Amino acid sequence: MEQFAQIQVSHLFFLAFASLAVVAAFNVILQRNPIYSAIGLIVVMCCLAGLFLTLAAEFIAAIQIIVYAGAIMVLFVFVIMLLNVREEDAKTDRQKYLKFLAVPLFLALIAEVMAVLKTVGNPAASETVPGTVESVAEGMFTNYVLPFEATSVLILMAIVGSMMLARRESKEETNEIEAALTAANQPTEIVEESSEEEVHA
């Protein structure tokens, strides 16, 4: 009887988190204003962290909240506020007939997913419960140390690349580029004159 009650509680947890996640995911794609989409995505991530807890993956749940909801989404919200995006009007679709194709394709997708899920059945959960910091760290620093190091190199490259891409070009650099462009467009004589003048100066 006690076990039955426990099962019911975990099912209720799953249904609550899952329904909230699906509603918030629809919120992400249907909102016109990006900031509401971002809030929806934060809700999805928190729900998924709750689901990770029901799967006994405490470390991943904590990382989900800290890295995803904490760091990545703050980056998104920061960029949305930095760019001060205006709400854009919904344009009419150019390919209107695709709308009618969507319904049968959606039904086909549902049927396909249901068929695959039937084959999954209901396997019993394993007795060993991975997910503590110790078990994750043991795998990460023994068998999978090379991928771990590779991701650290990747994130370093991402830091350098994003700083290169997003920095504002300084006044001097833009002046140099403009000078080079005008010099390239002008006839060669004038360019020579100007360079001589610079030498004299």
* 25 is a contact residue toward other proteins (CB under 8 A): yes
From the number of C-beta atoms within 10 Å of its C-beta (0-12, 13-18, 19+), residue 42 rates as buried
Q: Which of 24, 73, 75, 68 is nearest to 49 (CA)?
A: 68
Choose the binding region for other proteins from 155-163, 170-178, 179-187, 191-199 (rule: CB under 8 A). 155-163
With H, G, I as helix, E, B as strand and everything else as coil, classify residue 201.
coil
Question: What is the smallest separation between the CB atom of 193 and other proteins, expressed in angstroms?
Answer: 33
Q: What is the total count of residues that contact other proteins (CB under 8 A)?
A: 77
* 182 is a contact residue toward other proteins (CB under 8 A): no
* 65 is a contact residue toward other proteins (CB under 8 A): no
Question: What is the smallest separation between the CB atom of 41 and other proteins, expressed in angstroms?
Answer: 5
d(CA 193, CA 116): 76
* 158 is a contact residue toward other proteins (CB under 8 A): yes
Q: Which two tokens stand for residue 76?
A: 């998104």
* 190 is a contact residue toward other proteins (CB under 8 A): no
d(CA 35, CA 190): 52
Q: Which is nearer to other proteins, 130 or 194 (CB)?
A: 130
Q: Which of 1, 77, 86, 81 is nearest to 37 (CA)?
A: 77
CB atoms within 10 A of CB 23: 13
* 136 is a contact residue toward other proteins (CB under 8 A): yes
* 2 is a contact residue toward other proteins (CB under 8 A): no
Site for other proteins in 104-133 (CB under 8 A): 109, 113, 117, 120-123, 125-131
